[in-house]
Structure 1
Amino acid sequence: MKFNYSFQKVVDLKTSEKSHAEMHLSSAIGQLQAEKHTLGQLFSDKDQMADSLQTQATNAVSAFQLQQMQDYINYIDQCILQKRQDIQTAQVKVEEKKEHLTTKMLDEKVWLQARGKALESFQKEESLREQNELDEMATVRFASRTR
């Protein structure tokens, strides 16, 4: 006899939900990494512009050009501040997705354990049934020999 768990669709649903939660966490981590990479690029741009500003300051450059370079550095600073906020938001999102995944993993584990217990019970019943059949066959054989 084959084991048929009556709540198998629930187990499958919980496994599917866990897989979706894993994908969402992976996506959130990817977003966080992208934000960090962008922040690194902004710092690199700022360093290059600061070096260029120092180089230009020693050369004969108009005050207007120096002011434009300084304004651009200030703009990059504002972008860096915004990007840090974006990173914090992305980190919060990653933590939320981790908590959600943990919840889904626990749900799945509970249902898998319930399925495992049902399978174990089924196997015990099946073993007992088989043993009873073997006992009955042995009894019939013994009874037929004694006649």
Structure 2
Amino acid sequence: MARFQYTYQKIVDLKTSEKSQAEWQLSVVIGKLNNEERSLQQLREERATWANRLGAASNEAVSLSELVAMQQYIEHLDIRIVHKLADVKKAEVAVETGRLVLSDKMMDEKVWQKSKSNALERFRADMMVSEQNELDELATVRFMYAAQ
């Protein structure tokens, strides 16, 4: 019996590989997004801590220079938070882009897998026809010998 060999198998393998690579790249950018969000959360927590310290310092005997230093540090944290928000937005865009790329790669792979599946079905149908023709020929030959 003949063995099925898909003519475009290398393309199917390439599309599968491209999909796997897109999945890997998406997981990398999702990891970066998670890191950026964690970093942003830490900055916000640190800012809240310093804001509480500044609020508590107003009730205590603290020098003006210390109050100014605390206020300047809080302003510095605010600037870092704004920059971190921009980094988070960039990471979110990268994740969305990665998802779109992965979606395209999955669609390509699915198209080629479907093409391969259709070719396999045609091959099986051709093999069944061929086998049926051989069986019919055997039956004809036996009938001819039996008729003689």
In 2, the alpha carbon distance for the partners of 1:142 and 1:42 equals: 91
- Matched pairs, number: 147
Residue 126 of structure 1 aligns with which residue?
A: 127
Report sequence identity in percent.
45
* TM-score using structure 2 length: 0.96
Instruction: Tell me which moved more, 9-18 or 110-119.
Output: 110-119
Deviation at 1:144, TM superposition (A): 1.1
Displacement over 3 Å in runs of 4+: none
Letter in 2 for 1:32: L
Partner residue, 1:14: 15
TM-score normalised to structure 1 length: 0.97
Deviation of the 1:5 alpha carbon: 0.4
What is the rounded CA distance, in whole Å, between the counterparts of 2:71 and 2:3 in structure 1?
76
Q: Distance in 1 between matches of 2:20 and 2:53?
A: 49
Aligned ranges 1:1-147 → 2 under 5 Å? 1-147=2-148
String of CA shifts for 1:82-135, please: whole Å, max 9, x gaps: 011001111111111111111111111111111111111100100001001111
Q: Which amino acid aligns with 1:121?
A: R
The DSSP-based 3-state class of the residue aligned with 1:3 is coil
Q: What's the CA shift for 1:140?
A: 1.1
Secondary structure at 1:61 match in 2: coil
User: What SS does structure 2 have at the residue aligned with 1:58?
Assistant: coil
RMSD of aligned residue pairs (Cα, Å): 0.8
Q: Residues of 2 paired with 1:50 and 1:97: CA distance?
A: 38
Structure 1 unaligned runs (5+)?
none
Give distance in 1, aligned partners of 2:140 and 2:58. 108
Which consecutive residues of structure 2, in runs of 5 or more, have no partner in the other structure?
Answer: none
